[in-house]
Amino acid sequence: MSEERKLALVVSDSPKAQKGAETLRQLHDWVAPADADALVVVGGDGFLLHVLHEMLKWDRMLPCYGLNLGTVGFLMNDTHHNGRSIGCRVADAHPVAVRPLEVYVTTQGGQEFCYYAINEVSLLRETRQTAKLEVRINGKVRMEELAGDGILLATPAGSTAYNLSAGGPILPLGSRMLALTPLSPFRPRRWKGAILPESAEVEFRILEPGKRPVAAVADQKEVREVRDVRIVASQKKELTLLFDPGSSLEERIFSEQFQV
């Protein structure tokens, strides 16, 4: 058994999470996040995503062990502990690296923005007019014109969210791949997207931006009337999720892909 770490407890404001954390608060000697070796995050996937975004502002990245007291909990661990303490569970947990995307957006007016995206970056038409985009990978134009509702680029952590609903592939955590998925494509109608290495630099240029305005969304951050977007995996920031050994994480990935 690995040596136990100093743990900080972070709990969602939801009544379900708050109630579930009452026992945890009494069963472990918690420390402040600044003094911790790892965070125990109680809630759902959305709250874990919020915590990870907040952590990107810190000087150091702490591993996060999620306990599911939310809705889906794909990135969380089961609350059933089989008699094992939370300290032992975290000490023996398996780490999975999650590299966020750096998103650089330029608007039609020349304003520039930079955000992180842990789940996905989506480009969405703002009006009834179909969006038209040029897709460039590693400096080479791979698609001169994609017409439709838009497109998204998802990380493995986000591949089971919007990406999956849009018909994109599920990427196992730790695969170091990205899913490029069109949103209701009109032309080319049969293009289903692509799987790219994490090292790829992806650029989108908006065609006819005045007539066909497009918004860019990096997780919860939105920029409207964009001109172009450049996306790269961060080389400076790396997040770590902790999972119980032999947990059902891989089984959940299989189940999502074979649901009928």
Query: Where is the binding site for NAD(+), in residues?
Result: 45-46, 50, 119-120, 149, 157, 160-165
Please tell me which residue in 37, 45, 78, 228 is annotated as part of the active site: 45
Q: Where would I find the H helices in the chain?
A: 15-27, 45-55, 86-91, 162-165, 249-257
- Tokens 């038409």 correspond to 125
Backbone angles phi, psi at 24, to 5 degrees: -60, -40
Kindly give, in sequence order, each residue whose CB lies less than 8 Å from that of residue 135, ignoring residues fewer than 6 positions away: 141, 142, 143, 146, 151, 180, 202, 203, 204
What is the C-alpha separation between 252 and 165, in angstroms, rounded? 16
What is the C-alpha separation between 100 and 194, in angstroms, rounded? 19
Is 228 among the residues known to form the active site?
no
Binding positions are: 45-46, 50, 119-120, 149, 157, 160-165
- The 10 Å Cβ neighbour count of residue 35 is 10
- The 10 Å Cβ neighbour count of residue 249 is 18
Q: Where would I find the H helices in 117-186?
A: 162-165
What is the C-alpha separation between 58 and 104, in angstroms, rounded? 20
What is the C-alpha separation between 84 and 152, in angstroms, rounded? 40
Q: Which residues carry out catalysis? A: 45
